[in-house]
Amino acid sequence: MTPLDFDATRLPSPHLTDAHEAWRKTVRTFVDKEIAPFVNAWDEAGGFPRQLHQKAAAIGLIGIGYPEEFGGIGEDIDVFHSIIASEELARAGSGGLIAGLMTHGIGLPPIIALGSDDLKTRIAPPVLAGEKIIALCVTEPSGGSDVANLKTRARRDGEEYVVDGEKTLITSGCRADFLTVAVRTGGEGAGGLSFLLVEADRPGVSRTPLKKMGWWMSDTATIHFDNVRVPADNLIGTENGGFAGIVVNFNMERLSMAAQAIAFSRVCIEDAARWAVDRKTFGKPLSKHQVIRHKLAEMVRRTNASQALLDNCAWRVKRGEAPVADLALLKTQATRTMEFCAREAIQILGGAGYIRGHRVERIYREVRVMAIGGGSEEIMLDLAARQLGL
């Protein structure tokens, strides 16, 4: 054990209670038993068992923060419980695992927030029980960040909508049973967008798996909608009122991704520090060379700064605020910290860090998706600038 292990590199937080720490212990025990021993094999295989969703649901991981009436765990739960879950899952060193296992975290909220009682009752319980998988479908081949101009169209035809178009880079796109799809039901721009729930086995839905630089064990797909008929009751919220739901969803996705990125940074520090203490070069431990100590200190400095901003943003979200600018800046800060720590960790481990099977090697491959997904750095900085009145 080194002084810079995963727990030592998390700043103490005044917002965490004994209940939070009990939750951390529950998730850590689950990760150590059900995930960490198998991560390398799942990554090489390009997927993980579907049954893991049900196992995660059994300890409350899938249902945390969702209404109890639909099988969730909502009483005495706050945003810090979700952050702890993200941190503990990240200890296994796989963003692909988190993306695939927790896809409901972006696919289900629009239904909970905007959907009819019938839709919530039909969709939420099996998802929160880990029996069904739901995916969010927003990004299109014509553009990712330009959400207001998406082209997939849903035309009203009596008591049905007819959906035509294409989505891409959809996490859990091939495995999903339910698809929460952003569609154009009206005119151009943000005012013409809606959300539809599309059952993935409907005629006209086809899916193509995509191979990626990282997130190997996470299923990612292009999804084609060819004259897909969906009951009008599957409309999530009001027609042409979907853009607000997309924006709110993004805020929480960015907070979660920031928490993951910072936790991955701490994994990199832990593994690099352990290697530096154990490895001897030129007659002394690697950690006794000033250049290596400075690398580790700089990794800790950046991680501490990112953690402090995360804590502040989470506290404000808990108070009911929507700090859009700071959430955008947080995601950029966190993913840039992850990129720096992954780079330095690989550098400290040298050739050993380049070999598949190390946590830092896998994290290094996943740097770019964290900096792009949920809003790219460029979009985040411009969003923050506009929110700041520039």
Pairing of strands 284-285, 178-184: unpaired
Q: Are 317 and 255 in contact (CB under 8 A)?
A: yes
Which contacts (CB < 8 Å, 24+ apart) does range 341-345 have? 341/264, 341/265, 341/268, 341/269, 341/299, 341/302, 341/303, 342/264, 342/265, 342/268, 342/367, 344/268, 344/272, 344/295, 344/296, 344/298, 344/299, 345/268, 345/269, 345/271, 345/272, 345/299
The residues, ordered by sequence, that sit 6+ positions from 177 with a Cβ below 8 Å of its Cβ are: 126, 132, 133, 134, 199, 200, 201
Q: Which residues are catalytic?
A: 253
Pairing verdict, β 280-281 and 193-199: unpaired
Q: Which two tokens stand for residue 69?
A: 């009436």
13 Cβ neighbours under 8 A, 6+ residues apart: 80, 311
Closest listed residue to residue 249, CA positions, set 327, 133, 313, 339: 327
Q: Is the dihedral of CA 368, 370, 372, 378 positive or negative?
A: negative
Beta bridge partners of 281: 284
Q: CB-based burial of residue 2 (10 Å sphere; 0-12 exposed, 13-18 middle, 19+ buried)? A: middle
Residue 347 to residue 298: CA distance in whole angstroms: 14
